Structure 1
Amino acid sequence: MPGSDPDTSRAMIVRAEAAETVKLSAGSEFALLADASGTQGALGANRLTLGSGAGGAAPHFHTLSSEAFYVLDGVMEFLLGDRLATVSRGDLVVVPPRTAHAFGAAPGSTAEVLVVLTPGVERFGYFRHLGRIADGREAADSLSAVQEHYDVHFVSSAAWRAARPSAAR
């Protein structure tokens, strides 16, 4: 309605110092910014910092959401279907539903990326699970049991294994 105040009651501000941090291996970590429940299902967002050459995610796809990656700093390698791409600071990668993808910091480079998933899926539990794997409290193969719940469906990729021989899948 013209002249009326917008409804700001559902607006969200996440202060950097208030974001939960999940430590990963190789100097990497997540800053958990917004989960689907905090955005009325609109999106989920996190900031991922990757150590030098560190892997970010093994090949997988999502059935429900698109995922956008905005590179804040550094250089990253992506698998997009069977295609490999290198992206750097200021580049944006958008992955539609059901598209296999994987990513990591390029060899010799660190990376920081803002990741937005839309529509949102409750995913903070998944990132915490990755933290438990990184610190040895969970086995890596325990992700198979939760992939359906978090809409993270792992796939095998010869192209990713060839590009990143240390990749687990």
Structure 2
Amino acid sequence: MRSLHPLVVTPETAEVVELPAGGAFTLLADANHTGGALGANRLRVGPGRDGAKPHYHGLSTELFYVVDGAMEFLLGDRVETVAAGGLVVVPPRLPHAFGAVSGTGADLLAVLTPGVERFGYFRRLARVQHGLEPFDGLRSEQDRYDVHFVDAERWSSLRGGR
């Protein structure tokens, strides 16, 4: 069901979930806010830090707009570096990952469509990154959040275990 009402999120009303090394998720819109049309968040990533481990979404297309800095993206079996002003669109089922280029931080807008309730995922991911809960706890939630983790040797070797 699509929302028939506009959604306005101001900087004062957006929830900010702090991450290590100066990073943060700014939670902008979840599926329940948009009638399932989309979900949106902004991600600030510290210098050289990973934004997401290799995964895919079975249901949704994901759009990334690099607001500031530069990001490395794993897109299937290739890696692309995308600087500020660049756009990446990832279709459903394509394994992908992303992180800030070594030596620089980045700011990224991410939009998932159709939307999936994922604010809970981002809150838990922050807890994992702060060492407050194990990453494996997210594996049991893969279907709920439509985030399906995959192994990606190329990403691991490129990122050097960051």
TM exceeds 0.5?
Answer: yes
The equivalent of 1:22 in structure 2 is 17
- C-alpha distance in 1 between matches for 2:161 and 2:130: 19
Give the structure-1-normalised TM-score.
0.91
The equivalent of 1:11 in structure 2 is 6
- C-alpha distance in 2 between matches for 1:99 and 1:123: 19
The one-letter code sitting in structure 2 at the alignment partner of 1:40 is: G
The equivalent of 1:3 in structure 2 is none
The equivalent of 2:107 in structure 1 is 112
**Identical amino acids, percent of aligned pairs:** 57
- C-alpha distance in 1 between matches for 2:126 and 2:71: 21
Q: Paired residue for 2:126, among 107, 119, 131?
A: 131
The offset of 1:165, in angstroms, is 1.5
- C-alpha distance in 1 between matches for 2:84 and 2:59: 27
Q: Deviations over 1:83-134 (max 9, x none)?
A: 0000000000000000000000000111001000000000000001012212
- C-alpha distance in 2 between matches for 1:154 and 1:59: 6
1:79–1:101 CA contact under 8 A, matched in 2: yes
How do residues 1-169 of structure 1 correspond to structure 2 at under 5 angstroms? Answer: 10-167=5-162
- 3-state SS, counterpart of residue 149 of structure 1: helix
The offset of 1:26, in angstroms, is 2.1
- 3-state SS, counterpart of residue 12 of structure 1: coil
The one-letter code sitting in structure 1 at the alignment partner of 2:25 is: F
The unaligned stretches of length 5 or more in structure 1 are 1-7
The offset of 1:56, in angstroms, is 0.3
Give the structure-2-normalised TM-score.
0.95
- C-alpha distance in 2 between matches for 1:80 and 1:134: 23
1:74–1:111 CA contact under 8 A, matched in 2: yes
1:23–1:134 CA contact under 8 A, matched in 2: no
**Misfit runs of 4+, over 6 Å:** none
The one-letter code sitting in structure 2 at the alignment partner of 1:62 is: H
Higher-Rg structure is 1
Count of residue pairs brought into register by the alignment: 160
- C-alpha distance in 2 between matches for 1:85 and 1:24: 24
The unaligned stretches of length 5 or more in structure 2 are none
The one-letter code sitting in structure 1 at the alignment partner of 2:100 is: A
